[in-house]
Amino acid sequence: MSVIVLAGAIGAGKSSLTALLANHLGSQAFYESVAENEVLPLFYEDPEQYAFLLQIYFLNKRFANIKKAMQEDNNVLDRSIYEDSLLFHLNADLGRANEIEVRVYDELLGNMMEELPYAAHKKHPDLLVHIKVSFATMLERIEKRGRPYEQLEYDPTLYDYYKELNRRYDLWYENYNQSPKIQIDGDQLNFVESPQAAQQVMAMIDEKLFEIRN
């Protein structure tokens, strides 16, 4: 079974593009657990206390989503399991998780990756689509979406957190080699409001899928 994952910083447009792409491919979209996520607001309130718990929460939900998504071809996942690790290591570097928590998480993730059901011989998605956004766009979109606990007024230190996350995402994508990948310019392509831009993005992804599959 084949699966496509959407990657990108907070507010990059992953959920929006997940919906468009699943609709385009006639498949199902699998979203991150946000609205019903009882740990996320606690994390933003007290990251030192909740970084590890949030990570375990996301890992658990992510794994369940991957298993479900794998039941049919072309399903689309909002964020990859690899990015969870990127986010956690950023938090650990900021002193929000201790060495033991990092070791336990890394080992658990490694173990779970071995069990991933992408295919018996292939443990990675068919395609990773990264939406690259500048830091300025990232901030704009976080504000536009308006989740209260993600706003800079709620916690001004989020500015540095988001800036560093955006920087690490670019490096992460450059080094990502677990599957075929494609990058979408989320600053230039307004696939949310412009049907032409949405069509352009679908065409880019179709072309990449064709290249991979032939």
Ligand X SMILES: Nc1nc2c(ncn2[C@H]2C[C@H](O)[C@@H](COP(=O)(O)O)O2)c(=O)[nH]1
Binding site members for ATP:
8-16, 141-145, 189-191
Listed ranges 6-14, 83-91, 94-102, 104-112: which one lies at the site for ligand ADP (CB under 6 A): 6-14
Among residues 5, 14, 59, 139, the one that binds ligand ADP under rule CB under 6 A:
14
Considering the complex, what minimum distance in angstroms separates the CB of residue 74 from ligand X?
Answer: 21
Of all helices (H) and strands (E), which one includes residue 185?
strand 181-185
**CA separation, residue 22 to residues 123, 137, 174 (Å):** 21, 24, 25
Task: Kindly name the residue from 78, 126, 155, 160 that is annotated as catalytic.
Answer: 78
Answer whether 39's CB lies under 8 Å from 57's CB. yes
Question: Does position 15 bind ligand ADP by CB under 6 A?
Answer: yes
Backbone angles phi, psi at 126, to 5 degrees: -75, -35
Considering the complex, what minimum distance in angstroms separates the CB of residue 75 from ligand ADP?
Answer: 17
Question: Cα–chain-centroid distance for residue 99?
Answer: 24
What mask, x for binding ligand ADP by CB under 6 A, covers residues 182 to 201? Answer: ----x--xxxxx--------
Known catalytic residue: 170?
A: no
Q: Binding residues for ligand X, per CB under 6 A?
A: 10-11, 14-15, 32, 34, 40, 54-55, 58, 79, 84, 87-88, 91, 150
Between 53 and 212, CB nearer to ligand X: 53
| Residue in 13, 4, 34 with CA at minimum distance from that of residue 43 | 34
Answer whether 4's CB lies under 8 Å from 69's CB. no
* H helix runs in 81-194, sequence order: 81-93, 99-115, 135-145, 158-175
Catalytic residue set: 78
Binding site for ligand ADP (CB under 6 A): 8, 10-16, 141, 144-145, 186, 189-193
